[in-house]
Amino acid sequence: MSKITYREALNQAMCQEMERDNRVFLMGEEVAEYNGAYKVSQGMLDKFGPSRVIDTPITELGFAGLGVGAAMAGLRPIIEFMTWNFAILAADQIVNAAAKMKYMTGGQYDCPMVFRGAGGAAARVSSQHSQAFENWYANIPGLKVVMPSNPADAKGLLAASIRDNDTVIFIENEINYGDIGEVPEGEYIIPLGKADIKRVGKDITLIAHSRMTGYALLAAEELAKQGIDAEVVDPRTIRPLDEATILASVAKTNRAVVIEEGWRFAGIGAEISARIMEKAFDDLDAPVARVTGKDVPMPYAANLENYALPSVAEIVEAARVTCNRA
């Protein structure tokens, strides 16, 4: 184990997989000579050369589609979007091509590739640069959606995503890039589709992914002071969803709050709470609560931005209500 940042962990995963498999290449805006807009690909050009670490023009639809073709032809592309906000330009290739290629070709063509980049709100960048799109992609058969919440998960999940034979939407979080944590050295793989219990508790289940996992853990500390022992479950893979771990936790605690940074309407919380209602109705002692981003485009002003995002206090409050302690 060594203490490294989330961005270094991602870098390690890519280097590890590129050393292991020469079909893997990294392509995107500023990934090579600039060392990555967020420095995730620091040093990779020097290590692997310009044929495998490739700067693109600002042309998301084009290079996403190029990646799809390269994957169909047998390579294993990692396509970096500077942020997922820009990936909307490439939605046709992700949704209409990559996600459907295996099905539409009767299994003849696979599309083994990773689309990755920063998602969620950054800091003070307003409406067009602060969005959570995991629910968009999680809705689509043929895609896997992966979102690490800490450095170790970032490394293990990205390596697994690169090895996966399907198209993986890998959504990082810009705010988390500088987070430091213990990360296993050498080859490290976390299987996709496996949730992780980040804190064991018995009174309530807090289900949160990506940056919100950290918020849920802070909320759990606060709840502990108030005599509520919260369990924090991080799905890590949004699709396919490790429903079993979530349901087992709810069976133990009988209460749940789902937390997400994105909008409430048809969000991940809506899906998870529906699953709990469908499959664990008899386990519930209270309705499942949701804490989400406010239903507004992200504003710039610091106080408004702060207000638009979920807060630890809101999670604590929702948990207290769910535990009849409000």
Partner 1 sequence: MFYSLIFSITKVALAAFLDARHDSPSLNHLGDSMAGKKKQQDTAGMTQEGRFYSAERLHAMHDMMLYIRRFEEKAGQMYGLKKIGGFCHLCNGQEAVCVGMEEAAEPTDYMMTSYRDHGHILARGTDGVAVMAELLGREGGVVGGKGGSMHMFDVEKNFAGGNGIVGEQVPIGTGFAFASKYRDDKRVSITIMGDGGVNQGAVYESFNMAALWKLPVVFVIENNQYAMGTSLIRASAETHLYKRGISFKVPGIQVDGMDVLEVERKMAEAIEHARSGKGPMIVEMMTYRYRGHSMSDPATYRTRDEVDEWRSGRDPIVRLQKQMIEAGLATEAEFKQKDKDIKKEVVAVAKAAEAQPEPDLSKLWDDILSDEVPNAYPYPRQVG
Active-site positions read 60, 129
Residue 74 contacts partner 1 per CB under 8 A:
yes
Residue 299 contacts partner 1 per CB under 8 A:
no
φ/ψ bin of 106: left (φ > 0), alpha (ψ from -120 to 50), beta (otherwise): left
Of 100-159, binders to partner 1 (CB under 8 A) are 102-110, 112, 141-142, 144
Residue 28 contacts partner 1 per CB under 8 A:
no
* Binding residue for partner 1, selected from 88, 126, 166, 229, defined by CB under 8 A: 166
- Cβ nearer to partner 1, comparing 141 with 186: 141
Contact criterion met (CB below 8 Å) for 29 and 37: yes
* Binding residue for partner 1, selected from 47, 193, 283, 286, defined by CB under 8 A: 193
- Cβ nearer to partner 1, comparing 61 with 284: 61
* Binding residue for partner 1, selected from 244, 296, 301, 304, defined by CB under 8 A: 244
Give me the residue label for tokens 């203490």.
Answer: 3
Q: Which residues pair with 233 in a beta bridge?
A: 197, 207
Q: What distance in Å separates the CA atoms of residue 26 and residue 24, rounded to the nearest whole number?
A: 7
Residue 72 contacts partner 1 per CB under 8 A:
yes
Give me the residue label for tokens 């996600």.
Answer: 99
Residue 56 contacts partner 1 per CB under 8 A:
yes
φ/ψ bin of 16: left (φ > 0), alpha (ψ from -120 to 50), beta (otherwise): alpha
Residue 207 contacts partner 1 per CB under 8 A:
no
Residue 86 contacts partner 1 per CB under 8 A:
no
Q: How far apart are the first and last CA of the chain?
A: 41
CA distances (Å), origin 66, targets 25, 112, 142: 12, 13, 19
* Binding residue for partner 1, selected from 70, 232, 257, 315, defined by CB under 8 A: 70
Shortest Cβ distance from residue 202 to partner 1 (Å)?
Answer: 24
Give me the residue label for tokens 């050498």.
Answer: 186
Question: Coil, helix or strand for 89?
Answer: helix
Query: Which of these segments, 30-38, 55-63, 297-305, 309-317, binds partner 1 (CB under 8 A)?
Result: 55-63
Q: What distance in Å separates the CA atoms of residue 78 and residue 71, rounded to the nearest whole number?
A: 10
Binding residues for partner 1, rule: CB under 8 A, are 25, 51, 56-57, 59, 61-75, 92-93, 96-97, 102-110, 112, 141-142, 144, 164-166, 191-194, 237, 239-244, 275, 278
